[in-house]
Structure 1
């Protein structure tokens, strides 16, 4: 073990002690093998010395990910989805899409949906909130994809927020059924590309009450799920709808679904507009949610979905493509990006932002 000045480092050495920025943010984990771009990052953060072992020894890269020197969460890009997760997602999508048109006549097939949702949740570790895109993506299928994605993201946010494990599946149901009342809304309003009239807005907002009513007699879900359908558009300052209640009266499930619903509503393609960049949406949620959404949930959501994204390829607003190499926990939506051997610090270059995550093939 030796403390080596940054200028004397060579690629291929292994850290024996974690490295932090001068402000205390974790830069590299212990046992990371330093690559050429990592040396540039250390210099960019003005780190002077690091503790390394086996200086100068080349490290043979293993094809077995489990033998990597990096922590597993760092090794696996968020978009590295297993085929099992994708298959179970598609099954739930097809089930929801086939069931929704007949819900008013025959009710919700809750047992079939529960079984398939549980099958999907088994593989939730393979789901990345910020980068997953469904295979069967069609503009007119927005309602079904939004339901499933809100279900998965609500499950994760419930876990991240410290809710008891017994609540996680119920929160997933809350995300899945939060917009169920839309089956009673005129499709011409749901898919209308122009601005809605006041009467159409009034009808659209009725989906919250309709959803609560539809879920009243459904077995296997708790009152929090029903309240999420009713309250997911309520705001903590009392300016939401349909009841205009404030934070003290909004159920925790509703607050969770309220956060993830905004994220997926803005990032998914709709029939009348293209989805926005996940990173840009997170910035908007952070800046515009003050007094509207639960601040603790917003901060937790943004922190968690931007973690472990090193290695993710992105397109910047100047149309250049680069790789995320470091995420600052103080500004998680503005990571450092390696572009053509240059390090672009989005925290400093405020005129640039991430407009797209470049999805890799499985």
Structure 2
């Protein structure tokens, strides 16, 4: 395949082979269709040239039409987890429409859909998983709920919940915001900050959700309570009932962490997404009197575990590779940038603002 200087790389080019860093890690994988951001990453890592497959570039004689088809197919093929993510996203949209029409919750469909998603969870990495584009208009709340189902399930496993609790906890994550179907859509989609009256109405989604779910007798009651209590805090400062500590159901404590993480790391009408690593730091700070400390500690430790070799962007625009993570400061690893090691634990003014997937 043609090897071209990095300055000639264009958005839409396909990589003919893996691109590696000076440390030998795979920066971008073979077959990837390059974006403008990818070109910036290549330049940041001082990659001089890359193998490129592009229409109009001379190809070797042994490249066949079948090869072209195979590469094209691999570009658009979703992973099994991504496909099941879309399936559950469609299912939740259908459930919300049914609730809006006064119909009952299709519990069997919900269980089957979630089970198919959970069977693929070995692929799931909270920091680097890339959700595929929605098949229709993207509903941020729906997408956040699917993420919450996955992350709640993962967090419950990490915290040694029993096997019989795992599916209900995933269901709790998926349905925790279902009460929003009863909230005025103009409030849900308002691009600016809400008035005090609108905030009070928005907070009622917890009660609405509980009332929608409590009639589903074949569903674990923890799912109902997670819808009601996922905004409660262990010091009693949450809502809607200001309950404290052990009065908050364990499912709700798990879902609260997943909900906060994904809400803060996704774009909203009124603000941009925050850095995943900064959000983890905020969750750590929030664990004192607000969230279940043990669950938060486990979430941070396990989410950042085995991230050596992951490529990240810092808030000063530099792009580098995580080379060492300190268990005492998991959100502030050492990052290699053009051969220089930056210790984020010591350079507190710098932080990770973006995590890249190389796939």
TM category, shorter: 0.7 to 0.9
Contact 2:107 2:219 in 1 (8 A): no
Cα distance in structure 2, aligned partners of 1:135 and 1:219 = 34
From 58, 80, 87, the equivalent of 2:83 is: 87
TM-score by length of 2: 0.76
- The equivalent residue for 1:285 is 283
The one-character-per-residue Cα deviations of 1:148-204 (angstroms, maximum 9, x if unpaired) are 111111111111111111111111111111111001001111111111111111111
Cα distance in structure 1, aligned partners of 2:321 and 2:137 = 29
The one-character-per-residue Cα deviations of 1:188-234 (angstroms, maximum 9, x if unpaired) are 11111111111111111111111011001224321111100000000
Quote how far apart the aligned CAs of 1:109 are.
2.1
Answer yes or no: is 1:226 the counterpart of 2:212.
Answer: no
Cα distance in structure 1, aligned partners of 2:274 and 2:154 = 22
Contact 2:277 2:331 in 1 (8 A): yes
Q: Secondary structure at the match of 1:93?
A: helix
TM-score by length of 1: 0.75
User: Structure 2, unaligned stretches of length 5 or more?
Assistant: 1-20, 25-76
Cα distance in structure 1, aligned partners of 2:313 and 2:357 = 11
Cα distance in structure 2, aligned partners of 1:222 and 1:94 = 23
Answer yes or no: is 1:298 the counterpart of 2:278.
Answer: no
Cα distance in structure 1, aligned partners of 2:204 and 2:253 = 19
Answer yes or no: is 1:134 the counterpart of 2:135.
Answer: no
From 117, 128, 134, the equivalent of 1:120 is: 117
Cα distance in structure 1, aligned partners of 2:277 and 2:293 = 18
Answer yes or no: is 1:147 the counterpart of 2:145.
Answer: yes
1:129-208 aligned within 5 A: 129-136=126-133, 141-208=139-206
- The equivalent residue for 1:97 is 93
The one-character-per-residue Cα deviations of 1:294-346 (angstroms, maximum 9, x if unpaired) are 11111111111101111111000110000111111100100111110111111
The one-character-per-residue Cα deviations of 1:234-264 (angstroms, maximum 9, x if unpaired) are 0000111111111120110011111111000
Superposed structure 1 runs of 4+ greater than 4 Å apart: 35-38, 137-140
Contact 1:110 1:219 in 2 (8 A): no
Contact 2:192 2:269 in 1 (8 A): no
Contact 1:234 1:244 in 2 (8 A): yes
- The equivalent residue for 1:63 is none
Quote how far apart the aligned CAs of 1:133 are.
2.6
Q: Secondary structure at the match of 1:322?
A: strand
Cα distance in structure 1, aligned partners of 2:112 and 2:130 = 23
Cα distance in structure 2, aligned partners of 1:278 and 1:237 = 25
Q: Secondary structure at the match of 1:276?
A: coil
Cα distance in structure 2, aligned partners of 1:288 and 1:298 = 9
Contact 2:322 2:335 in 1 (8 A): yes
Quote how far apart the aligned CAs of 1:36 are.
7.7
From 249, 252, 262, the equivalent of 1:251 is: 249
Contact 1:139 1:270 in 2 (8 A): no
Quote how far apart the aligned CAs of 1:355 are.
0.3
User: Structure 1, unaligned stretches of length 5 or more?
Assistant: 1-34, 39-80
Contact 2:177 2:205 in 1 (8 A): yes
The one-character-per-residue Cα deviations of 1:29-79 (angstroms, maximum 9, x if unpaired) are xxxxxx9859xxxxxxxxxxxxxxxxxxxxxxxxxxxxxxxxxxxxxxxxx
- Structure 1 residues 339, 139: closer, same or farther in 2, change over 3 A? farther
- The equivalent residue for 2:31 is none
Contact 1:191 1:272 in 2 (8 A): no
How many residue pairs were aligned?
285
Cα distance in structure 1, aligned partners of 2:351 and 2:94 = 39
- The equivalent residue for 1:18 is none
Quote how far apart the aligned CAs of 1:283 are.
1.0
- The equivalent residue for 1:10 is none
